[in-house]
Structure 1
C-alpha cells in the first residue's frame, strides 16, 4: 500500500487551514496553498495569515504550536508545480463546480500519476466533479468530507466513484483512520451524503416546529438535548456554534440537489428571522451572537435569547420543565402531555422516518448511518439505535397516525430491533431482514465488545476488572463521571494482587468521555460537613498506598487516558510504567484550583520527573520551581503532545490518534514490557528546604499584587511550596518517597479544614467551577 508522506491542501479558509493543521498534528508535512490577492505584498499571505490565526485560535487547531512548523504557506500562481512532491492533494475551495473543475485541470497538469486527489465538498456530486476529466484523474479522485473543526470532529465521510481506484481509496482511508484519528464512513454519491443530509433536516425541522408550537429556544434545546442523547446545546445552541450563515447555504444546496419528491422539501420554509440575524451580524458565537447572545451593555454580561415570535432579544431563562427531568427515557419524553411531548415528537418522529428512508439511498448500512450521526453531530445514539430505544412499532404507529409514509425498513421490522446481541456479538439488521455481526476495522479493540461476551473478574460500584486476552487485564473506572473514591481504591488493590498471581500485565482504561476528573468532591464535602476528618485522611492514605502498590507491582502497568485526566486521574498516570494516551487527552494536576495540593503522590512524581529532566539545570531549585509553576496554576495540557512538554507524559509514552484504537495500542505496549520486566527503583530527592519555600511564596505574592492570585490562592501556594521544597528538612538532606507522601498528606489535611477550600468544593459541585476566593 502506498504511503502518504506529504499532503497538499488547496484553499486556506477556515476548513482548509483546519485540515492542514490536523495533518500537521499527525507529524506529516503539508503544503497550504491559496490564491494571490490582488496587489498583495506577500504572495503567500492568505496561507501564511491562516497559519498565524490558527496559532491564536481557541479551541486550538494545532495540538502543539510546533506542529505549525510542518505547514508551508504557498500560492497557486507560483507553487502549483510543487504538487509533484505530495501523495495526497485535498481541494477545499469555493463550492462552485466550474471553479473546482478549472483547478482540477491545473492540478492534473503538474501532479505525479497515482497521487490521490480529493474534494472536501459536501454538496456537489462526485460524478459532476470529474465529468470531462481524463480517465487517470477519475481513477485517483474521491471525496473526503471532513467535519469542522477537523482536529476535534472524528467523522470523515468518504465517497468513491465508479472509476476510483479501490486501492488508492483504501490508502487514503487507512491514513485518515490511523494517522488522523478519523472514523471513516463510506457514503454513496448522493447530495449531502449522510450526516449533513440528515442533520440539516433535523435542524430545520426543529426550528420550524419551535416556531409553530410557540416553544421558546431554551425549552426547545432542553427537550431536544440530553433526553435524546443529543449534546446539551440542543438545536438552537448548535446552530449558534456552527454559525447561522452556514445553515441557509447548506439548505439551499440540498434543495437544489434533491429530487422534488424528497421529504426534505416538505420541511423547508423561508426563515426571515434567520435572514435578519445574519444581515445584522448575528451569525452565532463567531459573530455578535445568534439565537443566544451575551449583552455587555453597562459593563454587565447578560445572557439573552431570541424570541422567535417577535425577533427581539430578551433575558434568557433556564427551561423550567420538571416533567422533562422525571421522563428520563426518550419514549417517556415523547409521551409527555402538552407542548413538551408534542415538540419532541414533531422533531424526532419525522427525523427518524427520514433517517430510515436514507437506507439504500445514502448508504446500504444501518451502522454507517448511525455512526455518521454519532460522530458528525455528537449524538449519543444514532437514529436506528434511537428507534430501538423508543420502540420500532411505537414509531411506525405514530408516524402512520400523523399521515407519514412508513419507510420499508421500519414497516418490515415485525417485532425485530435494528440491533441485537447474539452469542456475545453485537449484530445489526440488514435491509433483507437478516442479522450480521457488527465488524470493527482491523486492529480495533473495544471494551464494550468484550463486555458482551464476558463477566468482570472483579467488580464493585466504582470499578471493574476485565480480561482482555493474552494475559492482560483492563481496570475500568465506573463511578459517575469516573470520580475516584474509596471503593475504586479497594478494587484496584485487589486487582493488583490478582494480576500478580494470574496475569501478565495491567491496563487502566475506560470508554467514557473522560478518563477521570479526579476524586469525588461530593463525598469529601459531605465528610467535611460532619467533621469526619479521620475518614478523609484515611482515603488520602489509602490512595497513596494503592498508587504506590501500582507503581511497584511486579508486572507492567500501562494507563490509557482519553479526554480529561485530572487530579487523581492524572496521578494514576504518573504512577504507571507507561502511558498510551489518546491524542485528545487533557492532563493536569488541578487540585490547587479547588484549594488543595496533590496528595496521592502527584507532587513527588512530578519532582522526580523534572529532577531527572535533561532540559533543566541540575540542583534542587529548578525542578521545584517548575513543578510549583505547573501545579499552583492548575495547568492542564491541551493535548497529549502538550502533556509531553509538561512531563505529565514522558518521551517514551505513546500517543494514539484514533480513539477506537487506544485499547489495542495500550495492550500492545503492556505486552512489549512483559519480558524482562523489573519494577522501578524507589527514588530519593534533594529539595531546597525552607529557603526554597520562601522564594516560591514570594513569587506567589507577586502574582497577588498584580491581581492574578486570590487570598486563598496564597494559602494554597504556601502549602504547595512547603511540600515541593521538602518541608522543614535541610536542603542537604535527601528525602525518600514516604517522607514526601507525609508532606502531601499533612498539607492536604490542613487545607481541607479551611472554610475557603470547602467553599470551592461547593462551588465546583454546583456550577462546575471553583469560586475565586
Structure 2
C-alpha cells in the first residue's frame, strides 16, 4: 500500500467527527460511522447529527462548509461495507478495551486487504489493544494520536507495534504530513506517549505547587505563561480550555499505567476543589466556567475562583515583582528570592527535569520531545531549548541544590548545550553523547536553515532578500508583526530590480506567526498628529508604485502567506502573479475598521477579480456591490479555502496543508511559472460612476437608520463607494488602473485627515480592538 485515497472514522464524538472534518478539509472522501441511534427511525442519526454540529461549531472544524460534501455518514450495524474501499480506518470510540477489541474484530472482517487501522487512544498501550487479534490485523494496526481540535493542532503522535508493518506507518505518516498538515512525532508505546505524559505532569505540578504556595490563579497564569514562552492561558486558563472533567480521566490512566517510581505519582495529588467544581457543572469553557467564569448577572464580569475559599471573586491583574524585575531573563525569574520566584522554579525546574528523564523512555530524540510540546501545548520553546536558554550547568546545579534528582540525560550533556549550529547545520545531542544533524523531511525547505548558512542579498531594518537556490529569491518581512513601513517598500523596490537582473522568480514569504498585519499604523498616526500629510501621501503613492512593480515585473512573483495577511499584507498578495497559501491563512482588507479604505491597490484588484469571475448576473453593479460588501464589512477569510470564495485568492492559487512545506511548494510554483513567463496585460473596467455611488450610499444610509452602521461608517463607506463606482464620472466610462489608484489615494487622504478616523486608529493601537464611532 503506497497511497491513501479514502479514509473512515468510527466514533462520531467531538474528536472523531473533527478528525473526519479535517480529512474532508484535504479534499479526501471520508466515512463517519457511529452506533445505531436508539428510539430513532433514522439509524444513522448520531453520525448525521455530529456532521450538523460540525457545520455550526466555533472554532470551525471545516476550513469551508463546502468540505462537508466529502463526508459520508452511517452506522456500524448497516454500513460497515463502506469500509471495503477505505485505505485508512481510524477508531475514535470510548476508551474501553473491550469495546475497542470487539470493534476491531468487525473491522477486520470488513476492511480491504492491507488497509491500515489506527486508534486515536492515548491511554491504552498498542500491545494491549491488539492482544488476541489475528496477526494480519496486528501488522496493519498503529496508533495515531490527534490533538484537539484536529484542524488547528499540528501535532500527530504516531506509534507502531512490534508487528506493525513499516509501510503502514510510512503511508499514514506521509498522508498526515502532506494532506493533513501534521508534524509527525514517532513515539514509543509508553503511557501518555510524549505530549500528554509531560504536559499533564507539568499541569499537575503547577496546580499542586500553587496550592502549596498559596497563590491566586491569576498569579499562576501570569508566571507560568509569557515569561516562559507559554500561551497566556497559563495553567488554570488551559485547564478551563481543555475541560476540567477531562483531566481526572487522563491522570487516572497515567496513574494506573506508569511505573511506581515515576515522578508523576508525586505530582498527582487529589485536588478537592476540582472535584467540587466538576460536580457543580464548572467543567471549563464548555460548561458554566471553571477556574474562571463570566458572571452574566453582573454584565459578563470576569471572575476567578479563590483557591483558598473556593468562592468566585472579581478577577484581578496580579502584581508580580519577580516577573517585572527579571524582564526577559528567565534565570533571574527562577532565581528571584520571593514566593513567585520560588514557585516559578519549582514548576519549571521539575517539568524540565521530567522531560530530560523521558529521553530513552518516551522517545530517544530530544527534538521529538521539544516538537511535541511546541505543537501539542503551543509552547514557544521545547523543554531542551529552555534548558539551553538557562544553561545546562546552571540548571543541573540548581536541581542538585534543591535536592531534586538529576536525570541521566543531563549527565550525558555534562554542561554542553542540547542544540548547536555546526558548519551551518543545526545539530542535537543524542543519548550516545554525540551531536547529530537535524535533517528536514524530503520536500521541506526552511528559511531559518538558509539564513543560518548564508548572508542576505539585500537587507535593511524592515526586510531582507535571500537566495533560496535554483534562481529563486525570497523576500522576507522582519518588522514586528511584519508590519509594512517605508523601509519595507524601499527594499522591495530594490529587490524587484535585483531579481530582474540576477534571478528567475521571487517568493514573498517569512516564518513569523503572521505573514503581515498590514501597514504600520503607528507611523501613520504619528505623521497625522504632526500634520505631515505629504509624508502620508508619499507613503500611499510609494506602496501603489511598488505593488504595481511587483504585478508587472518581468519575472513571476509568488506570495506564500501563513497566519494573518491583513490590509497591506493582503494587498501585496493581490498583486502577486500567484499565491501558494498555507491552509491556515487569514486574509482580509480590514482598513474600514480603522476608518480608512485600501490604498495600495486592494480596491482595484478586487474589482478586477470580481468583474472577471463571470458567475454573477450581468451588468457592472453585481461585482461592484459584492466588492463593496466584502471591503465594507472588513470580511476576513478564516482559511485559504474561504479566501478563494471571497476571491482574495484565485481558483488556481495553491494551498499547502503543512506549514513546514510552504516555502518548498511556493518555490516550485515560482519555477513552474518562470518557464516562458510574460507579465499580465493591464486591465480597464467600465464603471458606472455617479449612479453606482448613489446606490451604494443609499444602502449604507439605510443600515445607519437601522442602527447597523455608525456615523463614521457612512463616511468611510461613501469614500469606498466613490472608488468602486469609478468616481464622479458619467455612465460606463472606462477606468484604467491609474484612474482607480488615483481614486484610492485621494479618498484615503480624505479619510486620514478625519478626526473620527484618527480616533479609530488610536483606539486600535491602544486596545487592539476596533472603535465603533
Q: TM-score, normalised by structure 1?
A: 0.99
Residues 473 and 503, structure 1, Cα contact 8 Å, conserved in 2:
yes
Identify if the C-alpha distance between structure 1 residues 325 and 632 changes in structure 2 by more than 3 Å, giving closer, same or farther: farther
Aligned: 1:192 with 2:201: no
Distance 2:37 2:685 in 1: 59
Aligned: 1:563 with 2:548: no
Aligned: 1:415 with 2:415: yes
Distance 1:437 1:560 in 2: 27
CA shift for structure 1 position 465: 0.7
Q: 2:633 aligns to what?
A: 633
Q: 1:61 aligns to what?
A: 61
Deviations 1:108-142 (A, max 9, x none): 12212211000000000000000000000000000
* Structure 1 residues not aligned, in runs of 5+: none
CA shift for structure 1 position 732: 2.3
Deviations 1:462-503 (A, max 9, x none): 111110000101000000011111110000001001001111
Aligned: 1:221 with 2:221: yes
Q: 1:365 aligns to what?
A: 365
CA shift for structure 1 position 685: 1.2
Deviations 1:169-191 (A, max 9, x none): 10000000000000000000000
Distance 2:423 2:49 in 1: 56
Distance 1:618 1:542 in 2: 36
Deviations 1:7-63 (A, max 9, x none): 110000000000000000000111100001321221111110011011011110000
SS state of the match for residue 413, structure 2?
Answer: coil
Residues 562 and 583, structure 1, Cα contact 8 Å, conserved in 2:
yes
Deviations 1:599-655 (A, max 9, x none): 000000000011110211332211111100000000000110111111000011000
* 1:195-594 map, 5 Å: 195-298=195-298, 300-321=299-320, 323-326=322-325, 327-594=327-594
Residues 611 and 618, structure 1, Cα contact 8 Å, conserved in 2:
no
Distance 1:435 1:192 in 2: 28
Distance 1:322 1:726 in 2: 58
Aligned: 1:46 with 2:53: no
Distance 1:633 1:430 in 2: 53
Residues 26 and 180, structure 1, Cα contact 8 Å, conserved in 2:
yes
SS state of the match for residue 719, structure 2?
Answer: helix
CA shift for structure 1 position 323: 4.7
CA shift for structure 1 position 412: 3.0
CA shift for structure 1 position 361: 0.3
Across the two proteins, how many residue pairs are aligned to each other? Answer: 772
Residues 413 and 429, structure 2, Cα contact 8 Å, conserved in 1:
no
Residues 22 and 150, structure 2, Cα contact 8 Å, conserved in 1:
yes
Distance 1:329 1:152 in 2: 31
Residues 500 and 555, structure 2, Cα contact 8 Å, conserved in 1:
yes
Q: 1:683 aligns to what?
A: 683
Residues 218 and 316, structure 2, Cα contact 8 Å, conserved in 1:
yes
* 1:609-688 map, 5 Å: 609-688=609-688
Distance 1:767 1:255 in 2: 44
Residues 561 and 585, structure 2, Cα contact 8 Å, conserved in 1:
yes
Distance 1:323 1:684 in 2: 62
Distance 1:432 1:46 in 2: 52
SS state of the match for residue 488, structure 2?
Answer: helix
CA shift for structure 1 position 336: 2.3
Distance 1:320 1:530 in 2: 36
Question: 702-711 vs 389-398, which deviates more?
Answer: 702-711
Residues 637 and 643, structure 1, Cα contact 8 Å, conserved in 2:
yes
Distance 1:504 1:316 in 2: 57
Deviations 1:684-719 (A, max 9, x none): 111121110111111112222222211111111011
CA shift for structure 1 position 394: 1.3
Q: 2:602 aligns to what?
A: 602
Identify if the C-alpha distance between structure 1 residues 648 and 319 changes in structure 2 by more than 3 Å, giving closer, same or farther: same
Distance 1:68 1:363 in 2: 37
Distance 1:729 1:400 in 2: 80
Residues 412 and 431, structure 2, Cα contact 8 Å, conserved in 1:
no
Residues 236 and 291, structure 1, Cα contact 8 Å, conserved in 2:
yes
SS state of the match for residue 411, structure 1?
Answer: helix
Q: 2:757 aligns to what?
A: 757
Residues 726 and 735, structure 1, Cα contact 8 Å, conserved in 2:
yes
Question: 267-276 vs 700-709, which deviates more?
Answer: 700-709
Q: 1:135 aligns to what?
A: 135
Distance 1:734 1:627 in 2: 18
Deviations 1:260-317 (A, max 9, x none): 100000111101111111111111111111111111105x121111111111111111
**RMSD, matched Cα:** 1.0
CA shift for structure 1 position 322: 5.2
SS state of the match for residue 466, structure 1?
Answer: strand
Distance 1:531 1:222 in 2: 40
Distance 1:322 1:208 in 2: 22
SS state of the match for residue 564, structure 1?
Answer: strand
SS state of the match for residue 702, structure 2?
Answer: helix
SS state of the match for residue 612, structure 1?
Answer: helix
Residues 157 and 187, structure 1, Cα contact 8 Å, conserved in 2:
yes
Residues 153 and 376, structure 2, Cα contact 8 Å, conserved in 1:
yes
Residues 10 and 90, structure 2, Cα contact 8 Å, conserved in 1:
yes
Deviations 1:667-694 (A, max 9, x none): 0000001111111111111112111011
Distance 2:319 2:231 in 1: 18
CA shift for structure 1 position 3: 1.4
Distance 2:385 2:52 in 1: 42
Structure 1 segments of 4+ aligned residues over 4 angstroms from their partners:
none
Deviations 1:319-349 (A, max 9, x none): 2335524521322221223122111101100
Question: 231-240 vs 158-167, which deviates more?
Answer: 231-240
Distance 1:134 1:176 in 2: 26
Distance 1:336 1:752 in 2: 48
Distance 1:320 1:703 in 2: 45
* 1:127-206 map, 5 Å: 127-206=127-206
Distance 2:706 2:430 in 1: 65
